Amino acid sequence: MPQGQSRQVCMSGWGWLPRAGLLCLALGGCAQTPEPPALSTLSAFKPPPQFLQGPASAAAPAASASSAPPWWQAQGDPVLDRLMALALAHNQDLGAAKARIDEGRAAAGLDEAARRLQLSAGPGVGRSRSSEHLDPAWQIRSTTGGATPPVTVATEPVSTRLRLGLDASYELDLWGRLNDTARASALEARATALDLEAARRALTLSVASTYEALRVHQGQLLLRDELAQLALQRWRLARASAQAGLGDAGEVDALEAALRDAQMQASQIRQQHAQDFHALSVLCGVAVDQLPAVAGEPVVPVALPPLSDVPSRVLQRRPDVQAADQRLQAALARLGAARAADFPSLLLTTSLGHESSALSTLLDPGSLVWSLGLQISQSVLDGGRRQAQADAARARLDEAAQAYQGTLLQALREVEDALVAEQALQDQLRQAQAAAEAAHRQALRQLQRADAGLGRRTDALAARQTALQREIASLDLRQQLFLAQATLRKVMAWPP
């Protein structure tokens, strides 16, 4: 074949490219980017501009969320700081949450990679045998005329093919399907990271509250043991009076029952104290013998400093609210990707390499091969699969919208409940402390009367028991107040 004719035939092979380009432009003009659906479920929800705010204490300076250190450091307890460090480093729930973050980032990386150029090396070797019942030879005839006899080329039934090349493919994301899918995966990965932050805040609250319960139980155990000793003294005095004929046997039995109750309550506190250590062991992710030593003397929980305000931007700081927002946006992107699946997909492919039947000629210039193609794929009949996927994506979007609204409402409730609880417990603690002080004064007067011979010793012991019970109730309220203050910092997303 003449050289000019060969060039013309080769150039004519590119004639499909302009036509394919025009077809793509036509499809692009008819296509429309999926519009985000209206989130009617959120239209009725409007967070209040600010939450309820209790009266700030004038005795202590107010803390600022932007500059405050971790809230538990206000206790000034090195043991608590050590427990927090152990929990944040070894807690299994936090470890699982970190693994979920890695999984989410990997999934986002997969979807992001689908948007990029795919390049693969394809070296290969193949050997095949053709059927003997095919045409055994090719005949080449001259097109210039004349009586030149045709040339017959015989073919071998067995052939070898060696190939060394690169294959590349790139999907043209004209409708945004790949972009929406990658964006949804990235948003979900961010939501998983925010879940870790929420878990970290919940963990610090659990460690602090469990540690304070342990310290309070230490103090209550000493008081309960003293109560049991007082009950034993009263019972012995009453029994001695009854044996001397000066007392009532019924009173002796009543005092013995009270003694057994006091001993049982002391045993219950001792059990709770041991269980506090076990709970700290699980929270910190270490064995009980690896926990830092806790001093044996009773320690009264220190009240946390009051907060300056409760701004409405707490909803922007809370990691659970941010995670719900990210998942809502991810569901919206997933719906966009599902709707974009209704449009054709365009895949640009190309390959470049060498191909030969012999290894010695594989890298010769004449063995160079290449290809360039554009593939347009459009599903014509899928049995309703795309519609079902779009319906499922819309349902997940509605679910995410409901979850987001529920998270907002729950955040408002938690903050306001914590504020109400803190104010109520402060008032209850003041009343309990006043009652305990009055009971101790009464017990002191009864003891002075008994020492002066003006009263019974059993009455003085009973007054002392009442004062100790008031003190135990005051410790319970102190623990509850600390938990309310710590919970307030958690629900307000105070520095962890």
Q: What is the per-residue pLDDT across 293-332, written as a single tens digit (0 to 9) for each? A: 876 555 555 566 666 555 556 777 889 988 999 999 999 9
Structure confidence at residue 435 (pLDDT): 92
- Integer Cα distance of 93 and 90 in angstroms: 9
91: in domain: yes
Residue 339 has pLDDT above 50, yes or no: yes
Rounded to two decimals, what is the model's pTM? Answer: 0.72
Residue 31 has pLDDT above 60, yes or no: no
- Find the domain containing 203 and state its range: 49-121+182-343+388-491
Q: Is 411 helix (H, G, I), strand (E, B) or coil?
A: helix
Q: Decide: 134 and 159 in contact? Cβ < 8 Å.
A: no
- Integer Cα distance of 351 and 170 in angstroms: 12
Residue 359 corresponds to which amino acid?
L
Query: Which of these, 53, 70, 76, lies nearest to 422 by C-alpha position?
Result: 53
End-to-end CA distance of the chain: 81
339: in domain: yes
88: in domain: yes
Pick from 10-14, 223-227, 381-385: least confident: 10-14
The residues, any chain, with a CB within 8 Å of residue 473's CB and separated by 6 or more, are: 432, 436
Q: Is 370 helix (H, G, I), strand (E, B) or coil?
A: strand
Q: How many domains does the chain have?
A: 1
Question: In this predicted model, what pLDDT tens digit does every residue of 106-157 receive, in sequence order?
Answer: 988 888 888 888 888 878 888 887 776 666 555 556 666 556 666 665 666 7
Q: Bigger pLDDT: 63 or 115?
A: 115
Structure confidence at residue 264 (pLDDT): 92
Residue 1 has pLDDT above 90, yes or no: no
Choose the most confident range, by mean pLDDT, from 35-44, 51-60, 101-110: 101-110
- Helices in 152-248 by DSSP H: which ranges? 177-243
Residue 192's pLDDT band (cuts 50, 70, 90):
very high
226: in domain: yes
Burial of 479 (0-12, 13-18, 19+ CB in 10 A): buried
Phi and psi dihedrals of 350, rounded to 5?
-155, 155
Structure confidence at residue 186 (pLDDT): 92
Percent of the chain residues past pLDDT 70, beyond the cut: 77
Structure confidence at residue 457 (pLDDT): 83
- Integer Cα distance of 153 and 138 in angstroms: 5
Q: Decide: 485 and 303 in contact? Cβ < 8 Å.
A: yes
Q: Is 151 helix (H, G, I), strand (E, B) or coil?
A: strand
**Unique residue bearing structure tokens 């059990």:** 271
Q: Decide: 217 and 272 in contact? Cβ < 8 Å.
A: yes
Choose the most confident range, by mean pLDDT, from 36-40, 112-116, 277-281: 277-281
Strand partners, 172: 346
Structure confidence at residue 299 (pLDDT): 52
Residue 286 has pLDDT above 50, yes or no: yes
Question: In this predicted model, what pLDDT tens digit does every residue of 465-482 receive, in sequence order?
Answer: 899 999 999 989 988 988
Query: Which of these, 473, 472, 466, lies nearest to 445 by C-alpha position?
Result: 466
CATH number, position 64: 1.20.1600.10
- Helices in 244-302 by DSSP H: which ranges? 249-284
- Integer Cα distance of 50 and 347 in angstroms: 53
**Unique residue bearing structure tokens 């990271």:** 193
Query: E-strand spans in 305-367?
Result: 345-356
Structure confidence at residue 151 (pLDDT): 61
- Integer Cα distance of 280 and 211 in angstroms: 7
Structure confidence at residue 307 (pLDDT): 61
Cα separations in angstroms, 192 against 180, 197, 226: 18, 9, 51
- Provide mean pLDDT across the span 272-276: 91
225: in domain: yes
Query: E-strand spans in 317-447?
Result: 345-356, 368-377
Q: What is the DSSP string of 1-24?
A: --HHHHHHHHHHGGGHHHHHHHHH
Structure confidence at residue 253 (pLDDT): 86
Q: Decide: 446 and 419 in contact? Cβ < 8 Å.
A: no
39: in domain: no
Q: Is 348 helix (H, G, I), strand (E, B) or coil?
A: strand
Phi and psi dihedrals of 50, rounded to 5?
-155, 160
Structure confidence at residue 142 (pLDDT): 61
Q: Decide: 283 and 91 in contact? Cβ < 8 Å.
A: yes
CA torsion sign, 454 to 456 to 461 to 463?
negative
3: in domain: no
Phi and psi dihedrals of 430, rounded to 5?
-60, -45
- Provide mean pLDDT across the span 446-457: 82
**Residue 433 burial (CB count, 10 A):** 16
Q: Bigger pLDDT: 106 or 52?
A: 106
Structure confidence at residue 300 (pLDDT): 56
- Integer Cα distance of 158 and 452 in angstroms: 125
393: in domain: yes
Q: Bigger pLDDT: 272 or 40?
A: 272
Burial of 423 (0-12, 13-18, 19+ CB in 10 A): middle
Residue 52 has pLDDT above 90, yes or no: no
- Provide mean pLDDT across the span 161-174: 85
Residue 67 has pLDDT above 90, yes or no: no
- Integer Cα distance of 203 and 92 in angstroms: 11
- Integer Cα distance of 492 and 252 in angstroms: 55
- Integer Cα distance of 389 and 379 in angstroms: 14
Question: In this predicted model, what pLDDT tens digit does every residue of 202-212 receive, in sequence order?
Answer: 999 999 999 98
Give the angle subtended at the CA of 342 by the CAs of 340 and 346, to the nearest 5°: 75
